[in-house]
């Protein structure tokens, strides 16, 4: 018989390209096999409903909606919060614009307005200055923050900044969305309950398939009325899944068991940062706050190709920048081997 898990027989592979590369744990596979399911487009999948309710409870919202990806949860949120011709105020480098293929324009007819954000952190007064009301300009429709901020290095937004932007949003009457793909990393890094972050927002997008380890899925959280609106746009985008409880079952395990593993990823990221510096590569240690390390590496693509040939995978994101992302399937042993490859041993 052929091996049902051929990946396990492959040669050494230390995959630090992203935390999306995690594969489902045995516990997840068991839960998937045993999941109760129904037709989720009719809201009749008990496991999806359980996941949505549990995520909503955890983050302090009335309701949640399960979707295949974080791009979809973000873009559905934008569709619900905005009207065509408006602007979405967001930190420079935000995933909702940089890596979501112009979807805010293509689907919702809105454009981004970036706010300066050193190390991913915008100044609440900078957000206020970006707000537009004049009849000669496209009006502001919503504000969106990203925590942790991916492109800035997985950096954490301090809670007082969240409170400051919340105050601006309230004063200006604008909805405030969180692209919280990795908000569990932000909570772990600050040692706070996730709802201490979520409580500042009208809606939150949380990825289950990043560091939390689920194979597929994100959840959008908000008020009951907001989620009712989100249902319609999810279906328009083709995100109405049927017996999705198979996926939600893994998502529930990710939500329950994933967060406890994140501090170890963060510790290993710092160790990797020091190893990279030891090998002569520059790293801004102040940005190494969670599970990512961005290193300055000349001829990044050639270097990452050479490392890949030895089994170490990392993403060259620029001519001289390589991103390494830690996740729960990188053990201390694999990390040691990675640092040896980086050191040229």
Residues that bind ligand PLP (CB under 6 A): 69-71, 74, 95, 146, 150, 179, 181, 207, 210, 218
Do 185 and 264 touch, CB atoms closer than 8 A? no
Rounded to the nearest whole angstrom, what is the least distance from the CB of residue 2 to ligand PLP in the complex? 30
Do 214 and 239 touch, CB atoms closer than 8 A? no
CB burial string 208-235: b at 16+ within 10 A, e below: bbbbbbbbbbbbbbbeeebbebbbebbe
User: What is the largest distance, in Å, between two alpha-carbon atoms of the chain?
Assistant: 70
- Which residue lies nearer to ligand PLP by CB, 18 or 339? 18
Residue nearest to ligand PLP (CB): 70
Rounded to the nearest whole angstrom, what is the least distance from the CB of residue 74 to ligand PLP in the complex? 6
* CA atoms of 248 and 255, how far apart (whole Å): 10
* CA atoms of 335 and 16, how far apart (whole Å): 10
- Which residue lies nearer to ligand PLP by CB, 207 or 293? 207
CA angle 237, 238, 243 (to 5 degrees): 140
Q: Which of 137, 201, 213, 134 is nearest to 169 (CA)?
A: 201
- Which residue lies nearer to ligand PLP by CB, 207 or 300? 207
* CA atoms of 89 and 307, how far apart (whole Å): 39
- Residue in this structure with the two tokens 């950096």, named with its chain if needed: 155
* CA atoms of 221 and 62, how far apart (whole Å): 8
- Which residue lies nearer to ligand PLP by CB, 179 or 281? 179
- Which residue lies nearer to ligand PLP by CB, 21 or 277? 21
Locate 38 and state its tokens. Answer: 């129904």
Rounded to the nearest whole angstrom, what is the least distance from the CB of residue 48 to ligand PLP in the complex? 17
Rounded to the nearest whole angstrom, what is the least distance from the CB of residue 73 to ligand PLP in the complex? 8
Rounded to the nearest whole angstrom, what is the least distance from the CB of residue 15 to ligand PLP in the complex? 16
- Which residue lies nearer to ligand PLP by CB, 79 or 341? 79
Rounded to the nearest whole angstrom, what is the least distance from the CB of residue 195 to ligand PLP in the complex? 20
- Which residue lies nearer to ligand PLP by CB, 70 or 164? 70
């Amino acid at each position: 018989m052929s091996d049902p898990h051929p990946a396990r027989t492959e040669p050494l592979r230390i995959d630090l390209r992203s935390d999306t590369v995690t594969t489902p744990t045995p516990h997840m596979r068991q839960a998937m096999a045993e999941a109760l399911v129904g037709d989720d487009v009719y809201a009749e999948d008990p496991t999806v409903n359980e996941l949505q309710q549990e995520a909503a409870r955890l983050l302090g919202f009335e309701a949640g909606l399960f979707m295949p990806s974080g791009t979809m949860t973000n873009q559905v949120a934008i569709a619900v919060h905005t009207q065509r011709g408006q602007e979405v105020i967001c930190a420079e480098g935000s995933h909702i614009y940089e890596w979501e293929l112009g979807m805010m324009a293509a689907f919702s007819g809105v454009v981004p307005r970036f706010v300066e954000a050193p190390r991913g952190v915008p100044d609440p007064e900078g957000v206020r200055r970006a707000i537009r009301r004049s009849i000669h300009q496209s009006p502001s429709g919503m504000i969106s923050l990203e925590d942790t901020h991916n492109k800035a290095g997985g950096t954490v937004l301090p809670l007082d900044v969240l409170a400051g932007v919340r105050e601006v949003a309230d004063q200006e009457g604008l909805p405030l969305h969180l692209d919280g793909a990795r908000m569990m990393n932000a909570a772990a890094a600050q040692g706070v309950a996730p709802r201490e972050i979520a409580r500042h927002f009208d809606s939150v997008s949380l990825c289950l398939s990043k560091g939390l380890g689920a194979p597929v899925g994100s959840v959008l959280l908000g008020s009951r009325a907001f989620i009712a609106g989100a249902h319609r746009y999810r279906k328009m985008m083709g995100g109405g899944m049927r017996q999705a409880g198979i996926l939600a079952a893994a998502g529930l395990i990710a939500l329950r068991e994933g967060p406890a593993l994140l501090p170890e990823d963060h510790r290993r990221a710092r160790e990797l940062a020091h190893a990279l510096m030891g090998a002569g590569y520059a790293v801004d240690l102040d940005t190494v706050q969670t599970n990512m390390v961005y290193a300055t590496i000349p001829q990044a693509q050639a270097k990452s190709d050479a490392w890949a040939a030895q089994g170490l995978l990392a993403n060259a994101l620029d001519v001289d920048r390589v991103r390494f992302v830690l996740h729960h399937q990188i053990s201390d042993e694999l990390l040691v081997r990675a640092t040896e490859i980086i050191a040229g041993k």
